[in-house]
Structure 1
Amino acid sequence: MSVAGKTILYTGAAGGLGLRSTLALLAKGARVVAVDHDPAKIAALTEAAGGDAGLHLVATDMSDLDGFRAALTEASAATGGFDVVINNAALYPSKPFDEFTVEEHQAVQRVNVDAGIVAVQVALPTMRARGWGRIVNIASVTFYGGWALLSPYVASKGALVGLTRAWAREFGPDGVTVNAIAPGAFPTDAEKIHPDPEGYTRFVLDHQAVKRRGTPDDIAEALAFLASDAAGFITGQTLNVDGGWVMH
């Protein structure tokens, strides 16, 4: 399951599930091109990495797709190209469907889906030239059961599952695998939208087979596996990392 020596492009790498996963991948010997836009989170990641030479930070607004493409193109040239892409960055607005404007829906899709398309477009030529690549899209268990008040987010995660399958079929002949991870409920900043945190934790544990909350390390280990040679015959799949919430 080694990712040592691989260059990993990781969007949303400084917050939520990203920070601990980034540190875990660095500890496994990978170079991580960490993309984020929040200065405080970037500073926290920089401090936590402790000067690790494998960390390459890209501070950019992913909603500006042209600017994002330019930043990734520059980072690709500086690092010798990307072996792995992890599309993790996401917006997570919550309110009733009829209160969302079309423009708000589109803003979520632009970051959660369109920016991931840009990342793959930048990375794919190098992967094809090397005959090896890994793409991991971070989906969500909300796609399976639907989730009230999160329609733009759920729609975006469904789009990522669809792209996972289409890209897997198209890129497989080039030695590039494409998979998704669907995290369950993890105690991150995204949960702050819930007015009753303790009640929400009880709800989560009632639905999971494993009676503990997930940790970022659970995601990090799944990422390391899918990004490694050990997962070379797995593609087009969505791996639920959710403590047995959704089973299929």
Structure 2
Amino acid sequence: MKGRTVLYTGAAGGLGFETTLLMIDRGATVIAIDYNRDKLAALEQAALGRGPGRLVVSDADLGDLAAYRAVLERLLAETGGFDIVINNAGIYPSKPFEDFTLEEYQAVQRVNVDAGVLAVQIGLPGMKSRGFGRIVNISSITVSGGWENLSPYVASKMTLIGLTRAWAREFGPAGVTVNAIAPGAFPTDAEKIHPDPEGYERMVLDAQAIKRRGHAGDIANTIAFFTSDEAGFITGQTLHVNGGWTMN
């Protein structure tokens, strides 16, 4: 990944942290976007002394699309363009469908989908001009069914799969691939919404064919492959990284 510039949203979170460090180790410049300044500071500390790539951090509220556009345009000018865009950031409010207001539903779509659309719109012209681009959308195992009280989140993550296919068809002639990853159950902050953590972990292990919890490195390695030159003939696909919980 030497010489590549990566725009990565949610880069300081549970699944993004390890991927960011792996890409720096492989020579990429990683622009880490996250709303949590404490997590960004921890990522900066972890990246000290690593290389040959480098880390650029920027806190941003993806729910404010006008402000986010300004951040992206500044970063584009400063770095010369994005070779890789990873749409990973997401919010996941949980309650029964009828309790969500339309405004709450739209807020989830704004962060989980619209911010990704904006990043691709801004990064795509440079990818086309260089004849190379990699876009990875992070979806979720929840699109397979079996989870309740997460309807706006599930809708947003399925939308990313649809966009993956549409973009792959449209951008392919320019040398840009688009793929999605649907992680299974990983022990990150997202699991804190479950009222019985021990019971949830037992349920996860019972459902998986592989009897261990997933770890961030499982996702980091998958992203590293999709964004590599070796994956240049793979596009429009959704890879489920879930220990065999669901099989496709």
TM-score of the pair, normalised by structure 2: 0.97
Residues 92 and 150, structure 1, Cα contact 8 Å, conserved in 2: yes
Unaligned stretches of 5+ residues in structure 2: none
Counterpart among 19, 22, 32 of residue 20 in structure 2: 22
Give the aligned partner of residue 196 of structure 2: 196
Identity %: 66
Give the aligned partner of residue 155 of structure 2: 155
Give the aligned partner of residue 229 of structure 2: 229
- Which runs of structure 2 are paired with 1:144-223 in the superposition (5 Å)? 144-223=144-223
Letter in 1 for 2:105: H
User: How far 1:76 sits from its partner (Å)?
Assistant: 1.1
User: How far 1:51 sits from its partner (Å)?
Assistant: 5.4
- Which runs of structure 2 are paired with 1:111-150 in the superposition (5 Å)? 111-150=111-150
Give the aligned partner of residue 48 of structure 2: 50
User: How far 1:19 sits from its partner (Å)?
Assistant: 1.1
* Distance (Å, rounded) in 2 between the aligned partners of 1:228 and 1:15: 22
Letter in 1 for 2:112: N
User: How far 1:16 sits from its partner (Å)?
Assistant: 2.0
* Distance (Å, rounded) in 2 between the aligned partners of 1:158 and 1:179: 13
* Distance (Å, rounded) in 2 between the aligned partners of 1:100 and 1:8: 34
Residues 136 and 180, structure 1, Cα contact 8 Å, conserved in 2: yes
| SS at 1:91 equivalent | coil
* Distance (Å, rounded) in 2 between the aligned partners of 1:123 and 1:147: 34
Letter in 2 for 1:237: Q
Deviations 1:15-36 (A, max 9, x none): 1211111111111111100001
Residues 167 and 178, structure 1, Cα contact 8 Å, conserved in 2: yes
Unaligned stretches of 5+ residues in structure 1: none
Residues 146 and 154, structure 1, Cα contact 8 Å, conserved in 2: no
Give the aligned partner of residue 59 of structure 1: 59
Letter in 1 for 2:238: T
* Distance (Å, rounded) in 2 between the aligned partners of 1:157 and 1:117: 13
Residues 180 and 72 from structure 1, CA distance in 2 versus in 1: closer, same or farther, beyond 3 angstroms? same
Question: Are residue 238 (structure 1) and residue 238 (structure 2) matched?
Answer: yes
Give the aligned partner of residue 88 of structure 2: 88
Please tell me the root mean square deviation across aligned C-alpha atoms, in Å.
1.0
User: How far 1:146 sits from its partner (Å)?
Assistant: 4.7
Question: Are residue 247 (structure 1) and residue 242 (structure 2) matched?
Answer: no
Letter in 2 for 1:59: D
Letter in 2 for 1:166: A
Residues 150 and 65 from structure 1, CA distance in 2 versus in 1: closer, same or farther, beyond 3 angstroms? same
TM-score of the pair, normalised by structure 1: 0.97
| SS at 1:104 equivalent | helix
User: How far 1:116 sits from its partner (Å)?
Assistant: 0.1
Give the aligned partner of residue 37 of structure 1: 35
Letter in 2 for 1:11: T
Give the aligned partner of residue 100 of structure 2: 100
Residues 173 and 208 from structure 1, CA distance in 2 versus in 1: closer, same or farther, beyond 3 angstroms? same
